Amino acid sequence: MGKTLFDKIWDSHVVDTIENGPQVLYIDKHLIHEVTSPQAFNELKERSIPVYRPNQIVATADHNTPTMDQHLPIKDALSRNQLEQLSKNCADNDITLYELGHQYNGIVHVMAPELGITQPGMTMVCGDSHTSTHGAFGAIAFGIGTSQVAQVFASQCLLLTKPKSLRVTVNGTLKKGVLPKDVILYIISKLGTNSGTGYFCEYAGDVFENMSMEGRMSVCNMSIEMGARGGMIAPDETTFEYIKGRKFAPQGESFDKKVTYWKTLPSDDDAVFDQEYTFDAADIAPMLTYGTNPGMGIKITETIPTDENPSFKKSLEYMNFEAGASLINQPINYVFIGSCTNSRIEDFRVAADYIKGKQKAKNVTAWLVPGSKQVETQIIEEGLKAIFDEAGFELRQPGCSACLAMNDDKIPKGEYCVSTSNRNFEGRQGQGSRTILASPLVAAATAIEGKIIDITKHLN
């Protein structure tokens, strides 16, 4: 029997297997940030265990950073302390840190791929559930808790039970106005928020083969929203082309050698998956969520379904939506384009393309938050900032921002926010805030109109 992409990488990283128990899995790259690492550093210190392989760890500050005036000292004492701790821990342990203001600083799942740190065939972890993003390169990448961060610090390994395999195939051609974000919101709306639990998911078919690396990252990013620890897409020429020449990518002959290896990674034709789902690209439309988990999604033209489940009703009550209602013409006062799902240059190009020559609606506060310093620079250099400025949008500095509202970027109580982020949980974007997940195109159109519109009728 053939092997899956996942099997090939997993099996080549097993150091040992405990009888009737988990396996010791070797981790190639460990990404860390300020929120989930301090307690792990403390743990090692208390037990007098040194960091085993500091050169395989890369750190950035992203979750708890301001998106304005980053050159000034951080006002909030707790946030400032958390960043200072990260700097100290990295300095004490010889770990590379791209701190606030550094040219390579950014959201961990945006900066690592753009620097060529993320590569096919790797095992990668980070104390953040959206680590699944890096699977877009054909890597095994998944989020871990802080105890596990400490384990990787101590041994560069984790004790894990091999997950089951799942493949989601989407074939056909996507309709105009349907973005990678819509594809993954559609898949989650069909499969539900826990269908992937216990599995690693491979995305296959024309739709993903024809997708850019940035689109693939948006898809893999949200694998955790259907419960899957990770998502993966087979590496191909698009992948190799993206990596080539990036700062930490292998160079010259070494790159060619790696490509030869990377080409052996895709799932064998006769590989068998524990679970398979297939969808038709023609059925996918621009999507919106209406509830308080990412599985509660509909096509923009559909109405909110009816369900007697008390948790479903509680969710609609929180959102102040009625079963059977349409979201078209719903007034919206906040729009957020950002997060590790949609804060890369292509996302801002899509938004700018739609916004150009139009004006933001007066009732809307629209925040554009790039995923990294490099994306921010690109936005300026490509002239997108000028378009955003003229239309009345606010381009902020990089960070996780209003995706989780740990910093000051919070949506007020009771307000709706059409957001390109990944979670619409209660209060996720601020206490009492109501999140509607969408693509950067739908978010941009909402900001222009001040309400949700059927984007499919507004495309040239």
- Interface contacts to another protein, rule CB under 8 A: 15-16, 18, 20-22, 24, 26, 35-36, 38-39, 42-43, 47, 49, 52, 63-64, 76, 78-79, 81-82, 85, 127-129, 143-148, 150-151, 154-159, 161, 163, 193-194, 197-198, 224, 227, 229, 293, 309-311, 314, 404-406, 413, 423, 425-428, 431-432
**Which CB sits closer to another protein, 20 or 460?**
20
CB 63 within 8 A of CB 31: no
Would you put residue 267 in left (φ > 0), alpha (ψ -120 to 50) or beta?
beta
**Which CB sits closer to another protein, 144 or 178?**
144
CB of 449 vs another protein, minimal distance in Å:
29
CB of 121 vs another protein, minimal distance in Å:
11
CB of 185 vs another protein, minimal distance in Å:
16
Question: In the beta sheet, which residues pair with residue 372?
Answer: 106
Q: Coil, strand or helix: which one is 178?
A: coil
Rg of the chain in Å (alpha carbons) = 21
CB of 443 vs another protein, minimal distance in Å:
21
CB of 456 vs another protein, minimal distance in Å:
30
**Which CB sits closer to another protein, 225 or 347?**
225
**Which CB sits closer to another protein, 317 or 389?**
317
**Which CB sits closer to another protein, 79 or 374?**
79
CB of 23 vs another protein, minimal distance in Å:
10
The helix, strand and coil proportions of the chain, stated in percent and rounded to the nearest 5, come to 35, 20, 45
**Which CB sits closer to another protein, 54 or 198?**
198
**Which CB sits closer to another protein, 35 or 379?**
35
Q: Coil, strand or helix: which one is 157?
A: strand
Q: What is 249-300 written as a DSSP string?
A: S--HHHHHHHHHHHTT-SPPTTB--SEEEEEEGGG---EEE-SSSTT-EEET
Q: Using CA atoms, how far apart are residues 153 and 157, in angstroms rounded to an integer? A: 8
State how far Cα 268 lies from the chain centre: 27
CB of 30 vs another protein, minimal distance in Å:
13
What number of CA atoms fall less than 13 Å from residue 305's CA on the CB side? 14
Would you put residue 53 in left (φ > 0), alpha (ψ -120 to 50) or beta?
beta
